[in-house]
A and B are shown apart, each in its own frame.
Chain A
Amino acid sequence: MEYHHDSEMKEVVAKYLNICIESKQNGLCKEEKDSKDSAGINKLPRIENAYTTILSELGEDVDREGLLRTPLRAAKAMQFLTKGYKEAPKDILNDAIFDENHEEMVIVKDIDLFSLCEHHLVPFFGKAHIAYLPNKKVVGLSKLARIVEIYSRRLQVQERLTKQIASAISEALEPAGVAVVIEATHMCMVMRGVQKMNASTVTSVMLGKFQDDPKARKEFLDLAIRK
């Protein structure tokens, strides 16, 4: 019995070392071959194996009941949490832009946002508030939330996320101004590291009239942020 376990252990160790080496080689080749991998399914086994390695390296028993399918679940969860890579704003915005003779501020606030910190692979979540001053073109309201989804479901840095959302709206609608404010809690700061429970990070991007005109900015902040 002991021999059996021992040799199996060695097999597993050899296997994951090979996987590490293989994946490095394959990874480089694959990137040259197919830069646009439409089937995330292809990559799933590799991510799964990586998670199995992680579980055993953390000192857990990968064969215990609760962890049996965890590598698969964790791999799928990670793919879901980074599904924004496969989506582009133009795919969702194109049909929902309407000509409307409206030039007053449009605000969509308290959009729940969930993203992954690219430095620690740990979630950060919060709310996004978006405002724009239309220039004869308005966009379907849910599309603003969908843009947030596209950019947040990636490995992100909050500053970049805010900017990407603002730029996407700006490019699609060419409005007179766009403002995006995100306030988020970073689990990498709360669960580990400095461990400050109540800290939240606020970033904002003001484009066009929101940048030039303090009154427009003030109106937005009063309506969206002040409770």
Chain B
Amino acid sequence: MEHSKQPQYTSNEIKDTGDSSSVPNGHFDGLVKRPAGTVRTPVPQPPAAECVSHRPVNAVMESWREERTRSVEDNEMSLPSLAAAYTTILRGLGEDPQRQGLLKTPWRAATAMQFFTKGYQEKIIDVMNDAIFDEDHDEMVIVKDIDMFSMCEHHLVPIFGRVHIGYLPNKRVLGLSKLARIVEIYSRRLQVQERLTKQIAVAITEALQPTGVGVVIEATHMCMVMRGVQKMNSKTVTSTMLGVFREDPKTRDEFLTLIRS
């Protein structure tokens, strides 16, 4: 791994000159290393949670609209090398890749992994653009118990759980399934639960400019259950409260009570 690249990019440097094709998605550690022109496959960078608040508003909007995406053609092109990698793994684990049950496993595993990271193929803007409506409604809207499946970026093992989203519209409401689609786009990636929660909240904020957004995720991490410390019943709960959800304890209380019921 080329560690020599690391010192060149500090958290204060923004390798962003306003040119939309090279705008990083707010992730400062490990910015776009390869300029747009020389890249064979686009490399999307999920935004780092802490950095969003420091950046100017229009740069944040740009990053939301300009997420780099993987394409279906990229998927097809990557499949042989992914399958070869999986064959190596099978051999490395001491299995016989030629036995009947494992013959097509590298291809199946490669396709499965591409499916588990299909969030990199989708853009928020495609999913949301048509479903924002002007509605004179300023009471809380909650969509809860959205099943979520993600992959732990540290161990490449599944994370699954439920997402509860609430927002206070400010004259604009969003189609309800679009909230679930936003969850899908961000969760079908290599993720860290804290970042996932923040990304969902920020995406809704940027699209609707509501008075407030609250996102709560409770999930089970297979990396903790199947291996390592092996605690079967443990759950991780993360939440992000923006706007009036953060400032007003009564609003937050209402949201938390309603998602619990």
Chain B min CB distance to A225 (Å)? 20
Q: A54-B113, A119-B104 are in contact. List 19 more A-B contacts (CB 8 A).
A: A5-B34, A23-B88, A23-B91, A24-B84, A27-B91, A51-B85, A59-B70, A59-B78, A63-B30, A69-B154, A70-B155, A73-B154, A82-B93, A120-B108, A122-B158, A123-B157, A123-B222, A125-B225, A155-B93
Q: Is A53 a contact partner of B190 (Cβ separation < 8 A)?
A: no
Q: Is B78 a contact partner of A60 (Cβ separation < 8 A)?
A: no
8 Å CB contacts to B: which residues of A1-39?
2, 5-6, 8-9, 16-17, 19-20, 23-24, 27, 30-31, 37
Q: A2 CA to B39 CA in the complex, in Å?
A: 11
Size range of the chain A interface in the assembly: 35 or more
Per-residue CB proximity of B153-190 to A under 8 Å, as 1/0?
11111101000000000000000000000000000001
Chain A min CB distance to B66 (Å)? 16
Interfacial chain B residues near A122, Cβ < 8 Å:
109, 112, 158
Q: A64 CA to B6 CA in the complex, in Å?
A: 9
Chain A min CB distance to B114 (Å)? 7
Chain B min CB distance to A86 (Å)? 8
8 Å CB contacts to B: which residues of A61-76?
61-70, 73-75
8 Å CB contacts to B: which residues of A86-111?
86
Q: A210 CA to B248 CA in the complex, in Å?
A: 63
Interfacial chain A residues near B41, Cβ < 8 Å:
57, 59
Chain A min CB distance to B224 (Å)? 11
The one of B38, B222, B225 in contact with A6, judged by C-beta atoms closer than 8 angstroms, is B38
Taking the complex as formed, is B149 at the interface, i.e. its CB lies under 8 A from any CB of chain A? yes
Q: Is A191 a contact partner of B160 (Cβ separation < 8 A)?
A: yes
Q: Is A47 a contact partner of B112 (Cβ separation < 8 A)?
A: no
Q: Is A67 a contact partner of B89 (Cβ separation < 8 A)?
A: no
Q: A40 CA to B147 CA in the complex, in Å?
A: 37
Q: A6 CA to B30 CA in the complex, in Å?
A: 17
Per-residue CB proximity of A189-203 to B under 8 Å, as 1/0?
011100001000000
Q: A120 CA to B92 CA in the complex, in Å?
A: 17
Using CB atoms, name the residue of chain B closest to A60.
Answer: B190
Q: Is A67 a contact partner of B153 (Cβ separation < 8 A)?
A: yes
Using CB atoms, name the residue of chain B closest to A44.
Answer: B92
Q: A63 CA to B31 CA in the complex, in Å?
A: 9
Q: Is A77 a contact partner of B35 (Cβ separation < 8 A)?
A: no
Q: A119 CA to B2 CA in the complex, in Å?
A: 34
8 Å CB contacts to A: which residues of B119-164?
120, 147, 149, 153-158, 160
Chain A min CB distance to B168 (Å)? 29
Taking the complex as formed, is B105 at the interface, i.e. its CB lies under 8 A from any CB of chain A? yes
The one of B74, B86, B147 in contact with A121, judged by C-beta atoms closer than 8 angstroms, is B86
Using CB atoms, name the residue of chain B closest to A20.
Answer: B84
Q: Can you list 29 A-B pairs, Cβ within 8 angstroms, ordered by A?
A: A5-B34, A5-B35, A6-B34, A9-B38, A16-B85, A46-B92, A47-B92, A49-B88, A50-B89, A54-B86, A57-B78, A58-B70, A59-B41, A61-B33, A63-B5, A63-B6, A69-B154, A73-B155, A78-B89, A81-B227, A85-B95, A118-B101, A121-B112, A122-B112, A123-B157, A123-B226, A125-B226, A155-B93, A192-B116
Given A16-B81, A57-B78, A58-B113, the answer on whether A64 and B35 have CB atoms closer than 8 Å is: no
Size range of the chain B interface in the assembly: 35 or more
Q: A43 CA to B157 CA in the complex, in Å?
A: 20
Given A63-B1, A64-B27, A155-B102, the answer on whether A79 and B93 have CB atoms closer than 8 Å is: yes
Chain A min CB distance to B145 (Å)? 11
Taking the complex as formed, is A223 at the interface, i.e. its CB lies under 8 A from any CB of chain B? no
Q: Is A65 a contact partner of B29 (Cβ separation < 8 A)?
A: yes
The one of B101, B113, B153, B226 in contact with A157, judged by C-beta atoms closer than 8 angstroms, is B101
Taking the complex as formed, is A151 at the interface, i.e. its CB lies under 8 A from any CB of chain B? no
Interfacial chain B residues near A125, Cβ < 8 Å:
225-226
Interfacial chain A residues near B232, Cβ < 8 Å:
112
Given A58-B78, A123-B158, A157-B101, the answer on whether A2 and B92 have CB atoms closer than 8 Å is: no
Q: A194 CA to B117 CA in the complex, in Å?
A: 17
Interfacial chain A residues near B149, Cβ < 8 Å:
190-191
Q: Is A54 a contact partner of B85 (Cβ separation < 8 A)?
A: yes
Taking the complex as formed, is A216 at the interface, i.e. its CB lies under 8 A from any CB of chain B? no
Q: A72 CA to B51 CA in the complex, in Å?
A: 28
Q: Interface with A: B42-50, B55-63, B252-260, which one?
A: B42-50
